[in-house]
Amino acid sequence: MSQRLPPLNSLRAFEATARTGSISAAARELNVTHGAISHQVRKLEESLGVPLFERVGRRVKPTPHAALLKPAICNAFDSIAAATARLARPATAGDLVIGCVPALLSLWLLPHMTSFFDLYPDIRVRLVPTNDPADMKKSDMDVHILYGDGSWTDRWVRHWTDLYLFPVVSPRLLNERPLRTVRDLSQHVLLHADDGQEWHAWLSAADALDVMHERHHFMSNARLGIEAAMLGHGVALGDNITAKAMLGSGDLVVPFERSVQASSSFYVTCRNEDRSAPIVRAFADWLFAALDQSGREKADWKR
């Protein structure tokens, strides 16, 4: 049986306010008054029976109720925008050059691109493995998916998704050298995809910074770390986006339930003048819809 949804205008006002952190910014974006946004937010709060925002100076801070509601609302509006764009899009054809973080490119983007190719058979794609923000200045690059803090002010930038990190290991290595507790990590090689900060964060969250590790291997990117773990070379940190396929196939397993949020996130970015190009908009809209369909907001990764 269908359930009655809150008023659409109230949901739109909530989404813009939660995303921008400001009622004034939400009003400018939606081209309405500050009072109209406040009224719609209050209307939604009354409808739900819970507070959604607290005032902090000139900005607003989401309550725990708002934090729970925000992902579902944002995903819903993204999906609607992507669907309507596909229905009303102008003809899209030509070459599209996509720069992407190597691990995300090979472990998530390529496996998901079948649907993009089916939707846009006249777009010829060139994929470039890179996480160098300097590549955004290259004239032959159209759109990027980068891992970082999103502070690229001279470009159009939109947050794509956060990452949650957790140890992953091959079943064969786990059978040879069990991981019954976090302390057992001292008997394993730690595989790093950075300078060691990510493992430090996870061990800190697990209250295990004092566990001694004599052997470490350092990889230039997360894809190599995952592949090294699959080959049994040690224990790597996987994440809720790129490790899904290997976990689903059983090539990797998760020995501990604890996960930590990574300090960086994935962002979609392009030159400001390219954002309105039909071919770029088609890819960006598809990218957010594909992420939504793959189930990015699973509570299992946020323990």
The CATH number assigned to the domain holding 238 equals 3.40.190.290
Same domain, 109 and 203: yes
3 within some domain: no
pLDDT one-digit tens code per residue, 164-218 = 999 999 999 999 999 999 999 999 999 998 888 999 999 999 998 888 777 899 9
Q: 16-20, 27-31, 54-58, 90-94 — which is least confidently predicted?
A: 90-94
For position 180, what pLDDT does the model report?
92
Report DSSP state, residue 106: I
* Residue pLDDT, tens place only, 32-63: 999 999 999 999 999 888 999 988 877 888 89
pLDDT at 235 over 90: yes
Number of domains in the chain: 2
pTM beyond 0.75: no
Q: Say yes or no: 73 and 93 in one domain.
A: no
pLDDT score of 299: 33
Residue 192: give the domain boundaries: 89-303
The percentage of the chain sitting over the pLDDT mark of 70, rounded to a whole number, equals 93
More confident residue, 84 or 264: 264
- Strand, helix or coil at 193? coil
What is the pLDDT averaged over residues 254-258? 93
Domain match, 118 and 265 both = yes
Please, are residues 106 and 70 in contact by the beta-carbon 8 Å criterion?
A: no
Say what the pLDDT of residue 80 is: 78
Q: For residues 52 and 110, state if they share a domain.
A: no
Residue 105 clears pLDDT 50, i.e. is over it: yes
Residue 261: per-residue pLDDT: 94
Same domain, 18 and 101: no
CA–CA gap between residue 243 and residue 13 (Å, rounded): 35
